[in-house]
Amino acid sequence: MNLTASRALRAGVLLTCLFSTTAAFAHAHLKQQSPAANALVTTVPQALTLSFSEGIEVKFSGVTVTGPQQIKVPLGAVKLNEKDSKQLIVPVEQSLKPGDYTVDWHVVSVDGHKTQGQYHFSVK
């Protein structure tokens, strides 16, 4: 009887660990971006591209870009790449002037989890 209780306890701990680990990976994490984080670009981007670890619900996701003197950059509507539901495309509506830029993003993944983050790049 004592052996069975010990096995049940170990099985319960194992299942708890497995489900906890799965939940931790259920969020969309930013995997790649263009312009790249901390990059110094010489060609002004026409759009930002953000690639995530899982599919994104574009209706509940957004991006803002703040430039020199904390001025918000006008952006077009955020859309999904037609061939990749993990990639957001954000059109930049005006040419970026030289300086430092901050990209703030928030997304909701297809499983309903919200994540957010920030990165920086510079235009020469």
Per-residue pLDDT tens digits for 74-101: 999 999 999 999 999 999 999 999 999 9
Asked if residue 10 has pLDDT above 80, the reply is no
Quick one: fold of 27-123? Immunoglobulin-like (2.60.40)
pLDDT at 4: 67
Q: Which residue has the tokens 């904390």?
A: 70
CA 68 to centroid of chain Cα atoms: 23
Q: How many CA atoms lie within 13 A of 5 on its CB side?
A: 2
Per-residue pLDDT tens digits for 100-113: 999 999 999 999 99
Q: How far apart are CA 58 and CA 19, in angstroms?
A: 27
pLDDT at 22: 41
Contact 32, 51 (CB under 8 A): yes
CA 52 to centroid of chain Cα atoms: 5
Task: Measure the N-to-C terminal CA separation of the chain; round to a whole number of Å.
Answer: 72
Q: Return the structure tokens found at 26.
A: 């259920």
